[in-house]
Structure 1
Amino acid sequence: MKVEEGFQIVPYDESHPYTKDTVLPQLLNRLLPHKYLSEIESDLTEFGDFIVHHCRNIGDKVAPPQITQFNHLGRRVDRLHTSEGWRELKDIAVREGIVAIPHERKQEEFSRIYGFTKVLLFAGDSHEVLCPMAMTDGVARVLELSGTEQMKREIRSRLISRDSSLAFTAGQWMSERPGGSDVSQTETKALSITSTSNSVESDKRGSLYLLDGFKWFSSATDSNISVALARTGPFASGSRSLSLFLVPLRLPLLPQPSPDPTSNGITIHRLKNKLGTHALPTAELSLNNTKAYLLSPLNEGVKTITPVLNITRLYSAFTSVGCLRRALDIARSYALVRQISIPGGQSPLKDVPLHMTVLADITITYQALTHFAFGIAALLGKSECGKATGNEEARLRLLTPVLKAFASEKAVSAMEDCMTCLGGLGYMEEVGIGRLIRDCLVEKIWEGTVNVLVLDMIRASNKTFTVFMESISCPKEQIQDLKLEESISAINHSLNTLKEAFKPPLISAPFVQRLLLFLLGHTTASIYLFEHVIWGYTEQGSEGHWEIDRNVFKRYVGTSLENLCIDLEKLMRIADRKSRSKDDTEIVYGIKPIASKL
């Protein structure tokens, strides 16, 4: 039989990423004032069209970067070559205002919601271009808060530009070989040279230093600038002797960066050979008398770089959710056209109850993560515009690491289910779900693993639970009208369980802490889903989607909270915590062999 003979799989067409999404249009209708929604809706629709008809073709031109370390004369050149597709996707992100929108603030505090909507739409087709965009966004915020006027005028203006011929991108160099996420072991040293002949330049952009060290994991190696931590005090002081620096990758930086990649003493040891994010140039960099400008107060680098981490963690969460959106859309579209045999004839997968149960569960996860992510984006927008209350600032601080960890864990698992919904076809590279999974696995690691984020959550947990209780307050008659008493009872039970678990000494028990984060994540997502149900019921009535939203909320609460509460309560009853930790070690490495009597 010839390949063109016999059965042929019917092609499927993915739907519009914005107008046909199951959650975004209604969610924005709730979160945004009408005047802002009417301003941006056409742009989101046009961007969705552009993604479907153009971005996916550009993806065919994306390839891993390469490096030429030496030229034919043996001179060190370190020329980084990125693919045409990667460069085009970066230009699209700049022109679409991925970084510009939240800094232009034309929609005031709602600009963050607008910007992250574009991130969500673009994530599944971006090939991780959003990684340098995240760092660029974060560095622009740090410069706004801590940069000199010259830095803001010369550099920040380019970081937030929509002109791809002028725009800068930024990197973030924190990870080093001794510490990974533990920056207290940073080896890179900084030496002040402000008193030299460069003092005129230093006075304009800041105090000039020379950096010497090795950055083990530097994403966005093709950027124009980076921020880096370096030691300005004794090593014994750990993170308390680190300062933050602005590092040009090439000198001169302006009016145009030098074409010589090694002009600022930065050499590329090698490009990382990664499981995913293959298009993203990630390298090991050596800094040798590299000129940099002091950006933080002396020895306050960790505090100063915090806004970068908050923003990049949100990008990480939205990338996870956006890639899940794309994988789910592929699975939904396939279910419309794939015919299977059933008793009595043929049927599309969408009419097979067992298959739709799986897709419904994935959709519920996607909707919960989306509501959670936009809830935190709204808080960030308020914070940046000076409109957040004290309680909202506390929630933002607590929930940012929770969202990042929670979204990365749940999205990848749901994407695996999307892949299986296509059977063997889903495992093929051409479909794209495999790439989405590989790329999103890094979101479980980048900007902190779950364990790192758990510890960050605990540090921020002082003012949390009264805020949560306030956020679910609602007239009892509405809960009764919507038949939500059981679900609200489950949320209250979860909140009470969390209250007890966050108290000393339980909060310091390692075997409780991870489960705490996931229960807090599920509870927060449930609360945001609940808010949307109430809004739909009160604002839109029978014309809205509130009945569907109510079913999503009830099923999410029913499948997520109850078992987690039971598991956490069991762990909370363990009295001998030292024995539990000893048991864990023995399980992992085995019990010591019994000594021989001979």
Structure 2
Amino acid sequence: MARTTHTVTNQPPPLVGYDVYTGDRALVEAVERHLDPGLLEEARESLALLGRATGSEQVREWGEQANENPPRLRTHDRYGHRVDEVHFHPAWHRLLGRSVSAGLTDAWGRPGGHVRRAAGFLVATQAEAGHGCPLSMTHAAVPALRIEPELAEVWEPAARSHVYERALLPVVEKPGALLGMAMTEKQGGSDVRSNTTEARPLAAAGEYVLTGHKWFCSAPMSDAFLVLAQAPAGLTCFLVPRVLADGSRNAFAIQRLKDKLGNRSNASAEVEFDGTTWARRIGEEGRGIRSIMGMVAATRLDCVLGSAALMRQAVAQAVHHCAYRSAFGGPLAEKPLMRNVLADLALESEAATVLGMRLAAAYDAAEDGGADADRERALLRIAVPVAKYWVTKRCTPVVTEALECLGGNGYVEESGMPRLLRESPLNSVWEGSGNVQALDVVRVLRTEPLSLDAFLREVGAARGADHRFDRAVRDLLAELADLNGIEARARRLVERMALVLQGALLVRWAPPEVADAFCAARLGGDGGAAFGTLPHTLDLRAVVERARVEV
């Protein structure tokens, strides 16, 4: 009887079996724009290969399995020996292995490496965002390792390897290694200067033992961790390996795994150092924050890219659904109000992607030592926290609205949208909350004039192309001219900086219909607080069509 009464009609086909990379016009254009022509052919092939895999039914299923089967902590073996191992579903290892083999921990020192790696990260994490954490930590650890050439000689090749080796072994026996981070403690959180973990020097130069705890340890299954602890001269950065050179386990007690809102496929832990935990110092004693800031800056950019990936996947799902779903006499995507909503969401997604990729290009330019290297480094110092603040803040409302486009189906777990929604707040918290980012920008404005100059040069490259953008720049300059009470209004100032920077990039590089809509709604005051309030005179159909994936 069910066969005659339960006929399924008017349901969109699943969004699988497509190329996540080539289906993202904004991302493809960013790669073409920022890569040297000699690197493009290889990059196109490798990113399209990763894109087809990410959009395949098999890899999407791996993402679901990894999320539905979260990691488990195994503190002891069957004989009672302390092992402190984190066990993952096989799907997690498949996802991580695919991404490592695609080079998503290998960017430093490669021509165009940061642009290619950023595009790949934005693509791969759309299958399951959780496995992006160890990829990000491992990639970002390289600048800190390079402070100590002896450490870098051993650990950098393993971190940048395209081979995923999950076994816990001495690093010299591994074809590839992962690195994590343990900074924050119960009493301090983002205020790492209040850390109480103690580092006691040993007789051998640069060697210490640690005593203390870490409230958040990212990727606790990794082969080594960058850790902040109080040495005799103050807060210092250390490398703590899981396995020592002789093959024995370092004292690294995982007390429990966090039960998180989202990011459930990935492990986050509380760990203890018992006074025998061996560590190798990175940088000078008392200079720990300076030593680790290179890692923090790189992971903050990955927060931007990760949020851009979540937004892109949510918007792709919403546009796909509305293109196939009919209501009130026609496809939802053709209804003027729904088209307005979809176009507004697409604007936010493209602005995030373009900004994230521009910052990745700045990393490449800063590394290659060319004429613009110093200016690009200065730009990164201010633009990364600006972007991290704003893009991660916009992620949750974008995903929420995209979910609503699917109606009740979007609220059902099988749609995948609830998983995206649970993931969406993470990047605004990870690597410093919104207040931390805003106050970091204030610090730069007060102490690093070259960074503000680099920012204004970047924005100035687009002046004269749109009157609304030009007016927004003038208003921003007026705000920057008066730093009285800046801490209390730091969020508002950083928001304006982010919008003006996104507007500058879109005016220069996006299609006219996208730049026009962004400037009208985000800079010209013609948009409302909710999505779907764009001026109806804009070419919204073209904006939506640009965001649509062809299956």
Q: TM-score, normalised by structure 2?
A: 0.87
**Letter of the aligned partner of 2:104 in structure 1?**
I
2:271 aligns with 285
Mapped to 1, the partners of 2:6 and 2:361 lie a distance apart of 54
- Pick one of 479, 498, 506 that aligns with 2:485: 506
Q: Do the aligned partners of residues 157 and 465 (structure 1) sit closer, same or farther apart at CA in structure 2, a change above 3 Å counting?
A: closer
- Pick one of 420, 429, 438 that aligns with 2:413: 429
Q: Do the aligned partners of residues 154 and 550 (structure 1) sit closer, same or farther apart at CA in structure 2, a change above 3 Å counting?
A: same
2:128 aligns with 126
Secondary structure at the aligned position of 2:190 is classed as coil
Deviation at 1:91, TM superposition (A): 0.9
Q: Do the aligned partners of residues 127 and 532 (structure 1) sit closer, same or farther apart at CA in structure 2, a change above 3 Å counting?
A: closer
Consecutive unaligned residues in structure 1, runs of 5 or more: 235-240, 534-548, 568-598
Aligned residue runs from structure 1 range 449-528, under 5 A: 449-461=433-445, 462-463=448-449, 464-473=451-460, 479=464, 484-500=465-481, 503-508=482-487, 510=488, 512-528=489-505
Paired residues of 2:321 and 2:406 also in contact (CA < 8 A):
yes
Secondary structure at the aligned position of 1:128 is classed as helix
Paired residues of 1:12 and 1:337 also in contact (CA < 8 A):
no
Deviation at 1:52, TM superposition (A): 1.4
Mapped to 1, the partners of 2:59 and 2:240 lie a distance apart of 32
Mapped to 2, the partners of 1:301 and 1:39 lie a distance apart of 39
Deviation at 1:551, TM superposition (A): 2.0
Consecutive unaligned residues in structure 2, runs of 5 or more: 166-174, 530-551
1:386 aligns with 369
CA-to-aligned-CA distance 1:343-387 (integer Å, 9 cap, x gap)? xxxx12222121111110000111111111111111122223333
CA-to-aligned-CA distance 1:414-455 (integer Å, 9 cap, x gap)? 111110110011111122121122123111111000001111
**Letter of the aligned partner of 1:499 in structure 2?**
L
2:535 aligns with none
1:440 matched to 2:441? no
1:47 aligns with 50
Deviation at 1:507, TM superposition (A): 1.9
**Letter of the aligned partner of 2:25 in structure 1?**
T
Larger Cα-atom Rg: 1
Mapped to 2, the partners of 1:269 and 1:409 lie a distance apart of 31
Identity of aligned residues (%): 26
Paired residues of 2:307 and 2:392 also in contact (CA < 8 A):
yes
Root-mean-square deviation (CA, aligned residues, Å) is 2.3
Paired residues of 1:215 and 1:284 also in contact (CA < 8 A):
yes
- Pick one of 56, 59, 63 that aligns with 2:63: 59
Mapped to 2, the partners of 1:73 and 1:470 lie a distance apart of 64
Deviation at 1:330, TM superposition (A): 1.0
1:103 aligns with 108
Deviation at 1:143, TM superposition (A): 1.2
1:186 aligns with 195
Mapped to 1, the partners of 2:337 and 2:135 lie a distance apart of 40
1:553 matched to 2:515? yes
The structure with higher relative contact order (CA 8 Å, sep 6+) is 2
Deviation at 1:278, TM superposition (A): 0.8
Aligned residue runs from structure 1 range 196-595, under 5 A: 199=204, 207-233=206-232, 241-252=234-245, 258=248, 263-288=249-274, 289-342=276-329, 347-387=330-370, 388-461=372-445, 462-463=448-449, 464-473=451-460, 479=464, 484-500=465-481, 503-508=482-487, 510=488, 512-533=489-510, 549-563=511-525
Q: Do the aligned partners of residues 246 and 11 (structure 1) sit closer, same or farther apart at CA in structure 2, a change above 3 Å counting?
A: same
Deviation at 1:104, TM superposition (A): 4.9
Mapped to 1, the partners of 2:255 and 2:396 lie a distance apart of 31
Mapped to 2, the partners of 1:277 and 1:474 lie a distance apart of 38
Secondary structure at the aligned position of 2:262 is classed as coil
Deviation at 1:413, TM superposition (A): 1.1
Secondary structure at the aligned position of 1:171 is classed as strand
**Letter of the aligned partner of 2:209 in structure 1?**
L
**Letter of the aligned partner of 1:456 in structure 2?**
D
**Letter of the aligned partner of 2:283 in structure 1?**
S
Paired residues of 2:262 and 2:426 also in contact (CA < 8 A):
yes
Deviation at 1:338, TM superposition (A): 0.9
